[in-house]
Structure 1
Amino acid sequence: MERPEIPLPQLHAFVVLAEELHFGHAAARLGIAQPPLSQQIRRLEDKVGHALFSREPGRVTLTPAGRELLPAARQALTDLADGLAAARAVGSGRVGRLKIGFAASLALTVLPRLLRTFRQRFPGVHLDIHEMTTAPQIAALHNNTIDIGLLREPPTDETELGFKTVLSEPFVVVLPTTHPLAAQRTVQLVQLADSPFVLLPRVVGPQLHDQITGLCTAAGFTPQVAQHAVEWQTVCALVEAGLGVSLAPASIRRIRLKGVAFRRIEPSTARTRVAVAWRKNDHNPLVTHLLATVSQDPPERPSTGPAWS
């Protein structure tokens, strides 16, 4: 049996009249004249196929059919109001789920403050955090697996993604404490020419990998890569084990390993860029809110670790 479609104004008029049991009072509450109210009720009764109100001189009462309909009508109006409120909340970006990818090293710099600030401003938004390197983040943005990326050295040939720099930091040399250069406060890059290197594989961060190898090339040598590691924590551990040296963002100094020394490099102008990334055609208000949070509350220059020794 086909269900009749009942306009919401008819349900609203029915509920108000059921509560007032007086056409004049109900019409005033609805802000309409009494004849239009009577017409709304008649149309609803025609759809139901039974009278909903008993009309007697000076008295209006609900019929059995009206009493049966009243709870369902109230629930329908409540559900609609709740749905509208939820839709407005999602549409304004006050609630919802935001999927964020981040490079592991950013947990040492911009990530904690950014997430803390965003959660304070939008407590109803659930943050779904995924740790991944730069190249996987770019792929995840393209296939909608994440909404926002926080990465190092974004690609320069992207047309569908937007990037905004949130931090720039210098590089440091990562050495085993047993390395002869660990006794120096500053290391010339050319002094690393004969040392094996531990580097991130190019596939996980092409721009950062090329930047590091480019610094070596500019210093007059090609780095001898002895080991690859995806995360900076692992890079430092392999350096501590004596498998090589590395160049890393200065914030990596926050990784405390007894057998690792971090030293300034010369030339000292080389810096690595941290950026927030998003799809240019994404109109998700949560993305807009996070980008606004980055702009309104830019990350402070991070403390990069213990004092230089």
Structure 2
Amino acid sequence: MELHQLRCFVAAAEELHFGRAAQRLEMLPSALGRHIRLLEDDLGTRLMTRTTRSVTLTDDGAVLLREARTLLAQADSLAVKFRARGRRQAPTIRVGAIDSAAAGLFPMLLHDFRERRPDVTVKLTEDKTIRLLPRLISGRLDLALVRPPDKPDSRLEFLLLLHETAVVAVSSRHPLASRKRVTITDLAEQPLIVPERRSRPHSHDLTMKLFAQAGLHARIAQLADEKQTIVNLVAAELGVAIVPRWTSRMAARGVRYIRLEAADMNRLPLAAAWTRGTRDLIRDEMLEMLKASLSRYAQEA
């Protein structure tokens, strides 16, 4: 019996849906099912009953779910404890950030933090929220700057920091490129490049919401996963995109960012997240600095 197999089982048992559980663990449903079958073979009992329409726990599965949660919590706590021991010898903080925060908020925060704590090594991991939160839970990150999920994990604490304004990215050769501001109506007939909702629900839903509020239908021409890819597609004149304002700090030739009317009423939330119930002097110091400087950072959002 392996910890990874237990994590697969717990995710499937909590979601009662192999597709959602696999997405949560960033793996294929077939691989998830294989790990659970191996766990069942190892334990010699059936843990789940799966049909084409539903997934249910057996009696043994319900018992194992309770025990597995405790065991995994102990394993995660042990990992955090020993990583903290190592960090006391060499002060380090591991910060995760979504791409726009890595381009916008984090450089300002890092500048201020290094002035106060030049002895601390800061390691940045840039990724999507759905990948950063599991790293927090497992102890691989100490702090993360993320879009707060609709259903936050009870093992994590979240602090809402600010709301990021959206802008419109267009090719520098686009007819709208000379405008200082645009409205959603101006984009009504424009092909849109939109992020995948699975990986970036906040950004995807913001575009859909802005068009719905204007009584218009969003003309989606392309779905893309990474912000840098979206910006590159805009530069190639394949469409326009509604993106967080800090995206404009990413290097991209041939792209202009234009203020979007009504964007102030529809902003993207940014939150700090960390593991609930843990103490970390370096992380807490960075959090306090973040809170104290929020009004200044927010002016740039």
TMscore range, shorter length: 0.5 to 0.7
Query: 1:156 is paired with a residue of what secondary structure?
Result: coil
Say whether 1:237 aligns with 2:237.
no
RMSD: 2.8
Structure 2: which 5+ residue stretches go unaligned? 1-83
8 Å contact kept, 1:174–1:263: yes
8 Å contact kept, 1:91–1:285: no
Structure 1: which 5+ residue stretches go unaligned? 1-88, 305-309
Q: What do residues 238-291 of structure 1 show as CA deviations (whole Å, max 9, x unaligned)?
A: 101011110011222334545222222222422222221112222222322221
Cα distance in 2, alignment partners of residues 282 and 141 from structure 1: 11
Give 2:165's match in structure 1, choosing from 170, 180, 188: 170
Q: Which amino acid aligns with 1:300?
A: Y
Residues 241 and 91 of structure 1: CA distance in aligned 2, closer, same or farther (over 3 Å) = closer
Q: Which amino acid aligns with 2:242?
A: L
Partner of 2:150: 156
Query: 1:300 is paired with a residue of what secondary structure?
Result: helix
Say whether 1:300 aligns with 2:297.
yes
Q: How does 1:261-276 map to 2 (within 5 A)?
A: 261-269=256-264, 270-276=266-272
Identity of aligned residues (%): 30
Q: How does 1:26-37 map to 2 (within 5 A)?
A: none
Say whether 1:283 aligns with 2:279.
yes
Say whether 1:135 aligns with 2:130.
yes
Q: Which amino acid aligns with 1:197?
A: L
Cα distance in 1, alignment partners of residues 256 and 239 from structure 2: 12
TM-score of the two chains, using structure 2 as the length reference? 0.63
Q: Which amino acid aligns with 1:173?
A: V
Query: Between Structure 1 and Structure 2, how many residues are aligned?
Result: 216
Query: 2:148 is paired with a residue of what secondary structure?
Result: coil
Residues 116 and 93 of structure 1: CA distance in aligned 2, closer, same or farther (over 3 Å) = farther
Q: Which amino acid aligns with 2:104?
A: T
Say whether 1:253 aligns with 2:240.
no
Cα distance in 1, alignment partners of residues 289 and 89 from structure 2: 14
Residues 91 and 131 of structure 1: CA distance in aligned 2, closer, same or farther (over 3 Å) = closer
Q: What do residues 118-160 of structure 1 show as CA deviations (whole Å, max 9, x unaligned)?
A: 2333333332221111111122222222121112x31132133
Cα distance in 2, alignment partners of residues 302 and 255 from structure 1: 18
Q: What do residues 36-68 of structure 1 show as CA deviations (whole Å, max 9, x unaligned)?
A: xxxxxxxxxxxxxxxxxxxxxxxxxxxxxxxxx
Query: 2:150 is paired with a residue of what secondary structure?
Result: coil
1:92 shift after superposition: 11
Say whether 1:218 aligns with 2:206.
no
Query: 1:244 is paired with a residue of what secondary structure?
Result: coil
